[in-house]
Amino acid sequence: MSTNQAEFERASKVLVGGVNSAVRAFRAVGGTPRFIARAEGAYLWDVEGKRYIDYLGSWGPMIVGQSHPLVVERVRAAAGRGLSYGAPNVMESELAERICALFPQVQRVRFTSSGTEATMSALRLARGFTGRTKIIKFEGCYHGASDSLLVKAGSGALAFGTPTSAGVPADLAAHTLVAQFNDLDSVAALFERYPDDVACLIVEPIAGNMNLIAPAPGFHEGLRSLCSRYGALLIFDEVMSGFRVALGGAQEVVGVTPDLSTFGKVIGGGMPVGAIGGPAKIMEMMAPLGPVYQAGTLSGNPLAMAAGLATIELISEPGFHARLHESCGKLVAGLTAAAAAAGVPFSARHQGGMAGMYFMAATPTNFAEVQSQDVERFKRFYHLMLDQGVYLPPSAVEAFFFSSAHTQGDIAATVDAAGKAFAAVAG
């Protein structure tokens, strides 16, 4: 039998940093990444045969748990009919019909192979539709790894954005304006400074990439009215929140309608998928009907469509998200109580099957606040949980994910492990 350490050394000789997505390398928590051999229901098994309760859920897609029999059966059946055609298939229409039915303002959908492609294409579409150049994003929100979106606030409240990655031209980053989440004044100030230049504002309506940050009451209503007033498109990036916080996504929860939505993760059921959705008059600016180019060899891939359709079918069962929210709430309450018993400053919250834990007493409302967590304590907690067979996302600034496969027993085991870990990191 192999070990995680041996596999990491082997991988590091041929894969950059031993991984194919940076955060998997465990840099934010230290230690050796676990190499997963198998996953089923609420569990992962590593190459050493150790079992973990899975709160990573592949970073969001696995809302019905791993290897759900219906999803696997549909993917197997689809595979038997061919892996990729590069020509239309009927499942693309079926999945698009489901999305249109669940999101009232979505009349047209374009599938991609990742969330990154969806948000990147949505920006191009917004720029093409409005004929404007600048975009607004929020500090701490993540929208995938495209150039215009790997940008953070520069120094000074109204400064141009600066790249968060080498290789992103400063000239390009300058078109990305960065505001503060839950701070409408910071958004209004950008619109006032560039009243005719902003093509779109992109936001994670319930943020999950600076840990889980909930929108303050009125925040999205304020964004909606600013975008409408200045003629910019409001884009809800629901790649993480869509189908996960509620069947109708965060827009159902917050009750605000964006101009465009981007999806991914859950709609692929674990296969590579992204999507852009919106009204026909905007979406039809895209090729082949309009001048905004967008394409993908594997877009609408039959296996991905099959996995997505099966997953949407399962989560459309009445009461699915209410049950998920309730069970996840038990976990969050259990963790909070365990931390309190150990005297560790801690808070947690959740929405549907998306949750956040924070090593700080108050629940954070923006990126700056979440940065004030006790990250060193989180790192120690992280490894104590991993040792006890609980796999959390390996970073203090990521949300964690709950699925319908997690049982009361899994919750109890997790809270029990957390009690020991909190006691060990207290003081």
Catalytically annotated residues:
142, 237, 265
Q: Which of 52, 129, 142, 391 binds ligand PLP (CB under 6 A)?
A: 142
- Mark 9-48 with x for binding to ligand PLP (rule: CB under 6 A) and - for no binding: ----------------------------------------
Which residue has tokens 């059921």? 269
Stretch that binds ligand PLP, among 49-57, 108-116, 227-235, 310-318 (CB under 6 A): 108-116
Do β-strands 151-152 and 43-46 pair in parallel, antiparallel, or remain unpaired? Answer: unpaired
Beta bridge partners of 246: 242
Between β-strands 400-401 and 354-358, what pairing exists: parallel, antiparallel or unpaired?
Answer: antiparallel
95 versus 415: smaller Cβ distance to ligand PLP: 95
* Rounded least distance, CB 115 to ligand PLP, Å: 2
Segment 252-271, which members bind ligand PLP (CB under 6 A)? Answer: 264
Helix (H/G/I), strand (E/B), else coil: 83: coil
The burial class, CB within 10 Å (0-12 / 13-18 / 19+), for 188 is: middle
Q: Which one of residues 46, 57, 62, 116 is an interface residue with ligand PLP (CB under 6 A)? A: 116
For the bound state, the minimum distance from the C-beta of residue 426 to ligand PLP, rounded and expressed in Å, comes to 32
Residue 135, sorted as left (phi over 0), alpha (psi -120 to 50) or beta, turns out to be beta
Question: Token digits for 304?
Answer: 């991905």
What's phi and psi for 199, nearest 5 deg?
A: -75, -40
Q: Which stretch in 109-117, 127-135, 157-165, 285-293 sits in contact with ligand PLP by CB under 6 A?
A: 109-117
**Residue 144 or residue 161: which is nearer to ligand PLP going by CB?**
144
Total site size for ligand PLP, rule CB under 6 A: 15
Contacts of 219 (CB under 8 A, 6+ apart): 181, 182, 184
Q: Is residue 176 close enough to count as binding ligand PLP by CB under 6 A? A: no
Return the number of the residue (156 or 167) whose C-beta is nearest ligand PLP.
167
- Which of 66, 114, 311, 366 lies at the binding interface for ligand PLP (CB under 6 A)? 114
Token pair of 406, please? 């997690």
Q: Tokens 């954005």 sit at which residue? A: 161
Residues 6+ apart with CB under 8 A from 384: 417, 420, 421, 424, 425
Return the number of the residue (58 or 388) whose C-beta is nearest ligand PLP.
58
Q: In this chain, which residue has its C-beta nearest to ligand PLP?
A: 115
Please tell me whether residue 354 adopts helix, strand or coil conformation: strand
Q: Which of 130, 209, 373, 395 binds ligand PLP (CB under 6 A)?
A: 209
Concatenate the DSSP letters of all residues of 232-255 into one string.
PEEEEE-TTTBTTTBTTHHHHHHT
**Which of these segments, 142-150, 172-180, 354-362, 405-413, binds ligand PLP (CB under 6 A)?**
142-150
Residue 251 near ligand PLP by CB under 6 A: no
Residue among 62, 234, 240, 396 that touches ligand PLP (CB under 6 A): 240
Subset of residues 364 to 393 that bind ligand PLP, contact rule: CB under 6 A = none
Question: Near ligand PLP by CB under 6 A, which window of 121-129, 156-164, 232-240, 292-300?
Answer: 232-240
The H or E element containing residue 377 is helix 375-387
Contact call for residue 119 and ligand PLP (CB under 6 A): yes
Query: In whole angstroms, what is the distance from residue 335 CA to residue 316 CA?
Result: 29
Choose one: 23-31, 137-145, 248-256, 321-329; the region binding ligand PLP (CB under 6 A).
Answer: 137-145
Give 22 or 424: the residue with its C-beta nearer to ligand PLP.
22
Q: Does a cis peptide bond (omega within 30 degrees of 0) precede residue 288?
A: yes
Cα first-last separation, the chain: 39
Decide if residue 57 touches ligand PLP (CB under 6 A). Answer: no
Which of residues 108, 132, 137, 143 is near ligand PLP by CB under 6 A?
143
What is the DSSP secondary-structure string of 10-32? HHHHHSGGG-SSGGGG-TTT-SP
Specify the pairing of strand 198-203 against strand 274-278.
Answer: unpaired
Q: Any contact of residue 144 with ligand PLP (CB under 6 A)?
A: yes
Residue 356 CB burial class (10 angstroms; 0-12, 13-18, ≥19): buried
What does DSSP say about strands 134-138 and 176-179: parallel, antiparallel, or unpaired? Answer: parallel
**Judged by CB under 6 A, which stretch of 8-16, 115-123, 362-370, 410-418 contacts ligand PLP?**
115-123
Candidate residues 239, 370, 390, 396; the one interacting with ligand PLP per rule CB under 6 A: 239
Helix, strand, or coil (residue 322)? helix
Give the torsion sign (CA, 109, 215, 244, 272): positive
- From the list 41, 115, 258, 277, which residue makes contact with ligand PLP (rule: CB under 6 A)? 115
Q: How far is the CB of 367 from ligand PLP (least distance, A)?
A: 14
The residues binding ligand PLP (CB under 6 A) are: 114-116, 119, 142-144, 204, 208-209, 237, 239-240, 264, 274
